[in-house]
Amino acid sequence: MAMTKKPVKGMKDILPEEMAIRDYAINLIKETYKGFGFTPIETPTMEHIGNLSNKEGGENEKLIFKVLKRGEKLNLAAASNENDLVDSGLRYDLTVPLCRYYSNNSEILPAPFKALQIGSVYRADRPQRGRFRQFTQCDIDILGDPTNLAEIELILATTTLLGKLEFSNFKVHINDRRFLRAMTAYAGFPEERTDIVFIILDKMDKIGWEGVKEELLKEGFSEESVNRYVGLFEKMGTGKEAIAYLAETLGDKLDPAAVRNLNEIIDAVDSLKTADFELAFDATLVRGMGYYTGTIFEIEMLDFGSACGGGGRYDELIGKFTGMKVPACGFSIGFERIITLLLEKGFKVPGAPEKKAYLIEKGSDAEKIREVLTQAQKERAEGKTVSVSMRNKNAKFQKEQLAKDGYTEIIEVYKK
């Protein structure tokens, strides 16, 4: 039977043109984030299934690529359910592995710890533009800082990076889970069912407010509570005016610290930012992960049509490993979507070294080949990119491909 040449659905081969941009972007990410004091780390691609299935990962827990037990531990005949077969899975994000990593190594890590992590993650998702089943995430996290200095630094670092990648006029939406909980309490929704309200609110941009009302009513919430809840959004306006409106309307249901928190973050970022973007309060922002406890944020690229990154504060997740509360906050960029946008707008890697190619006619003697290789080595030592290959029969196509790959000087070397 013939072997399949196409990659597995939802995964892709990366061609040289894209690989050059990806390498450039990753190097720039590392350089920028290191400049903000973040330290590169790495965690395993495979994680304990119990850690991945702790009911903190939201919808992503339905998308885990699960891994069977190995060797003697795998007993298909004796298995009565999935738990008898599976003990690990491929990570669906970098946050859960980071929390395990920190819990295991905190005694030898600085406090606060500023982590930079770049790696592949896996989700059994429906593939679409900029969304794959294997994709790269780039995360920065600050562990051990309870103040909003963490949020300010994360937003400044991420937006500085996007500015260096020539993105402008994008929008960072910001909210706080304390606002979301206060609004559901004001509306009269039962506290134990707020997660259902958040899931429905998260669909607002797809189903509209009428759709939100309809789904809330289908869940059995009273019409009075639904109208009171949706009415908050209809009256609040935008930006910091919306924060002030909610602070006044929600009264003692809203923690005053949440109001101060958002105002201080917005004021600090607006005065310190170097990229061209807007930081705006968005009361509809939910973020799907169950582990978020406070501030949440999300990047909107207007020419992409969906989020290109996000994050927030997750002060209780590390405690699931250690039993002790450790404040934590992180921001992740949607690397694959960023690369998709760069490719679509014809991005060229700036400052690329000069590229030169030698094509040696087949049949050339060893002395001629050594002569070319000696010259190539000299030019490589000068910082040039030099490729040495045998000249194909169809040299026209070969030269066209080299030119496409950025080789500006192509020298054909003949045997005589």
pLDDT value, residue 45? 95
In the predicted structure, residue 67 carries a pLDDT above the cut 60 = yes
- Full-model pTM: 0.88
Q: Which two tokens stand for residue 138?
A: 């780039």
More confident call, 113 vs 349: 113
In the predicted structure, residue 77 carries a pLDDT above the cut 70 = no
pLDDT value, residue 13? 93
Rounded mean pLDDT of 127-143? 87
- Residue 121, beta-bridge partner list: 135
Taking the C-alpha atoms of residue 249 and residue 259, their distance in angstroms, rounded to an integer, is 12
Stated length of the chain: 416
pLDDT value, residue 78? 58
pLDDT value, residue 229? 93
pLDDT, tens only, 215-224: 999 999 999 9
- Give the list of residues 6+ apart from residue 105 with CB closer than 8 angstroms, or none: none
Taking the C-alpha atoms of residue 250 and residue 72, their distance in angstroms, rounded to an integer, is 58
Q: Report the C-alpha dihedral over residues 161, 162, 166, 169, rounded to 10 degrees.
A: -140
pLDDT value, residue 335? 93
Burial of 385 (C-beta count, 10 Å sphere; 0-12/13-18/19+): middle
pLDDT, tens only, 15-57: 988 999 999 999 999 999 999 999 999 999 999 998 988 766 5
pLDDT band at 416 (very low <50, low <70, confident <90, very high): low
Token pair 């991005």 in the structure block, residue: 347
pLDDT band at 107 (very low <50, low <70, confident <90, very high): very high
More confident call, 130 vs 227: 227
pLDDT value, residue 71? 65
pLDDT, tens only, 201-215: 988 888 999 999 999
pLDDT value, residue 58? 63
Q: Which three-class secondary structure state does DSSP give residue 289?
A: coil
Q: Which two tokens stand for residue 159?
A: 């937006």
pLDDT value, residue 57? 57
pLDDT value, residue 239? 83
Closest CA to 342 of 161, 133, 173, 174: 161
Highest mean pLDDT among 68-72, 302-306, 388-392, 402-406: 388-392
Taking the C-alpha atoms of residue 201 and residue 287, their distance in angstroms, rounded to an integer, is 10
pLDDT value, residue 352? 76
In the predicted structure, residue 398 carries a pLDDT above the cut 80 = yes
In the predicted structure, residue 124 carries a pLDDT above the cut 90 = no
Rounded mean pLDDT of 246-275? 95
pLDDT value, residue 308? 87
Q: Report the C-alpha dihedral over residues 390, 391, 392, 397, rounded to 10 degrees.
A: 130
User: Helices then strands (H, E): number in the chain?
Assistant: 14, 14
Taking the C-alpha atoms of residue 61 and residue 289, their distance in angstroms, rounded to an integer, is 10
Residue 113 phi/psi, 5-degree rounding, is -105, 125
Token pair 């929704």 in the structure block, residue: 189
> With pLDDT > 90 as the criterion, what percentage of the chain qualifies?
64
In the predicted structure, residue 128 carries a pLDDT above the cut 80 = no
Q: Which two tokens stand for residue 396?
A: 């026209």
Q: Are 350 and 361 in contact (CB under 8 A)?
A: no
Q: Which two tokens stand for residue 127?
A: 């593939």
Domains and CATH numbers, the chain: 16-344 (3.30.930.10), 355-413 (no CATH)
pLDDT band at 348 (very low <50, low <70, confident <90, very high): confident
Q: Which two tokens stand for residue 409?
A: 């000087």
In the DSSP assignment, the letter for residue 361 is P
pLDDT, tens only, 299-340: 998 776 778 899 999 999 999 999 889 999 999 998 998 998
Considering only CA atoms, give the Rg of the chain. 26
In the predicted structure, residue 171 carries a pLDDT above the cut 70 = yes
